[in-house]
Structure 1
Amino acid sequence: MNRKELRKKIFQMLKDHYRLIIYNDSTIQTVFSIKLTPIKVATLGSLGAILLILLTSVIIAYTPLRENIPGYPDEKVRLQIIRNYLLVDSLENEIKTRDAYFEKIRTLFAGEVLPDESQITDAGVKTQEVKFKSFNADSVFQDKLQEEKQNLSISNSQKRLPSIANIHFFTPLRGMITNKFNTKTEHLAVDVVGKLNARISSVLNGTVIFAGWTMETGYSIYIQHENNIISAYKHNAELLKDVGDKVKAGEVIAIMGNSGELTTGPHLHFELWHNGTALDPETYIDF
């Protein structure tokens, strides 16, 4: 049989008509009868397969049966995936915040001015004239700051300096002075004891240049003011400001505490510096 005869035979089979009959075996009566052709059978079979695939897809997509499919995550796994995504996103934000903090510290040690992230100019502070000075923070940065220590001088005079004589300083903490400014003992500050959980305020308008924990002075905060004045507040229980924040005179910046290895009890260790010179705070501030 050649190819031509084979094609003709197949074409004839497709055109042939067949009848599907279902008989009752007991009565030999016809129960169901349908006339079919191979083409009609193929068409009906294809439609049935498509409908079966669609029905299976709907069941898998919109019913809990999909969780029984091997490899498909159940509800707990999906929730864990979402939690992991949120944790990774939070970790990325924390890393960015940490990198920004270290960059600010590097900027301070380089003697540069911190950029104004808020783009809001404080009328009380001329930021373009502020010059940051390195100082001994009694912290983990002490090694880097040690070489600057020799440049700091001590004001032995109890008279007001003419350059800042007319500046009104806000009292950082109302209380009793337990340890005065003393150059002989190298206590270049005053220790003030106030009420429990007393609020500590900034003495002038300024910008926070350090706010963090040190082993010796605990929670400490340093503020750069106009006219190259720096004020330091140490041994706090809690800090309410971050590096780069702008503060007003009298604005609360911390809570009095007893943190750090050098503390002798709950008090404020307050330092005042001008052009690298330690000043006696009692000369300028009434505690």
Structure 2
Amino acid sequence: MKKKIKKRSILKQKLVDKYRLVVLNEDTFEERFSLKLSLLNVFVLGGVLSFLLIFITTFFITFTPIKQFIPGYSSTELKIKASKLAFETDSLKRKLDVLEDYTRALQPILRGDIKADFIDTLSTETEKVFIKDSLLNASREDSLFREKIESQDRFPIQNRALEKVKVVFFAPLNGNISEGFETKSKHLAIDIVAPKNTPIKAAADGAVIFSGWTTETGYVIILKHASDYITVYKHNGNLLKQQGDFVKSGEVIASVGSTGEFTTGPHLHFELWSGGYAVNPLNYIDFR
């Protein structure tokens, strides 16, 4: 027991014993400064310095941008940016897949493996307009009523155009008509051939109700006029008006192009509709 007490007193004495640290000039042995310390002072000073070092390091890591350089650490801002880039990458991948499918579908046509027939986009629309009477089970009263109506003039707008037309139409484009209006082939329009980038003008005053891209007919612009008339301009190269714009007769709205799957070269596919029915533009407009 006495030995243990003696050892403790010796250890305590070593901790409290003072030691002098003297710094001398090597040439003159002049004392520069001296420092009187004990082992206990050294331990306390080292502990304080270690605590300060840990505190300062923690502060910089927590409250300064230096934390971003620590391996394995990611801030909330970096996570948001990474998520946004991941979504954009996925969107670009989807667009690339669509573009590859589109290019793959075009390759047989470009190589001449497929002979594309002339197909007009109105084929689906005209099926709704022209109804075969044979498909209707008409009663006797209905048949008599039909005979009465058929004996009259069912299309006064087409037969007496000059009397009924309240809108004055002008030619949207000067050029050669390559294909005319034909109901049998369901080509309910006229095709006007002209050089590429030739200005296309509004046939009459009206409002733009559609201006955009379609796969079959490329850039399309549709105008609504007074008296329930609608004009349609397809296969354009560029569109100069947007949906909701009001245009004046003769105002440039687009340019001649050859866009869309069903185009046969630079031309304007021009349609004229009245009351929901397609009419022959040559009955209303002088293209000479």
Q: Shorter chain as normaliser: what TM range?
A: 0.5 to 0.7
- Cα distance in 1 for partners of 2:73, 2:269 equals 62
> For 1:46-85, what aligned pairs fall within 5 Å after superposition?
46-49=47-50, 50-51=52-53, 54=56, 69-71=70-72, 85=85
Residue 166, structure 1, aligned to residue 166, structure 2: yes
Counterpart in the other structure of 1:191: 191
Relative distance call for 1:207 and 1:154 in structure 2 (3 A) is farther
State the one-letter code of the partner of 2:130.
Q
Contact 1:236 1:257 (8 Å CA) reproduced: yes
**Could you list the per-position Cα deviations for residues 159-208 of structure 1 after superposition, in whole angstroms to 9, with x for gaps in the alignment?**
32655x23233432122333333445543222222333212223232123
Cα pair distance change 1:58/1:33, threshold 3 Å = same
Q: Residues 9-48 of structure 1: matches in 2 within 5 Å?
A: 16=16, 18-21=18-21, 33-36=34-37, 40-41=41-42, 43-48=44-49
**2:186 counterpart of 1:179:** no
Segments of structure 1 that go 5 or more residues without pairing to the other structure are: 96-136
Distance 1:177 1:147 in 2: 25
> 1:149 Cα shift?
3.0
Higher relative contact order (CA 8 A, sep 6+): 1
Letter in 2 for 1:169: F
Partner in structure 2 of residue 235 of structure 1? 235
Do residues 223 (structure 1) and 206 (structure 2) align? no
Distance in 2 (alpha carbons) for counterparts of 1:185 and 1:23: 111
How many percent of aligned residue pairs carry the same amino acid? 34
Higher helix proportion: 2
Contact 1:224/1:231 (<8 A) preserved:
yes
Residue 281 of structure 2 is matched in structure 1 by 281
CA RMSD in angstroms comes to: 5.2
What does residue 148 of structure 1 align with? 128
Tell me, in whole angstroms, the C-alpha distance in 2 between the residues paired with 1:156 and 1:162. Answer: 8
Residue 161 of structure 2: SS of its match in structure 1? coil
Supply the AA of the counterpart residue of 1:268: L
Task: Tell me the distance in 2 between the aligned counterparts of 1:62 and 1:37.
Answer: 41
Over 3 Å counting, the alpha-carbon distance change for 1:170 and 1:231 in structure 2 is same
- The CA deviation string for residues 128-179 of structure 1, in whole angstroms up to 9 with x for no partner, is xxxxxxxxx818xx76x5663337x97783532655x232334321223333
Offset at residue 279 of structure 1 (A): 1.9
Deviates more, 1:48-57 or 1:249-258: 48-57
Distance in 2 separating the partners of 1:84 and 1:284: 55
> C-alpha deviations, 1:96-147, integer Å up to 9, x for none?
xxxxxxxxxxxxxxxxxxxxxxxxxxxxxxxxxxxxxxxxx818xx76x566
Secondary structure of the structure 2 residue equivalent to 1:88: helix
- Structure 1 length as normaliser, TM-score? 0.54
Structure 2: which 5+ runs fail to align?
A: 96-119, 132-153
* Aligned residue pair count: 224
Letter in 1 for 2:46: G
- The Cα shift of 1:272 comes to 0.4
Task: Report the counterpart of residue 208 of structure 1 in structure 2.
Answer: 209
**Equivalent runs, 1:100-139 vs 2, <5 Å:** 138=121
Structure number with larger C-alpha Rg: 2
TM-score (norm 2): 0.54
CA contact (8 A) 1:257 1:268 kept: yes
Whether contact under 8 Å (1:189, 1:272) holds in the other structure is: yes
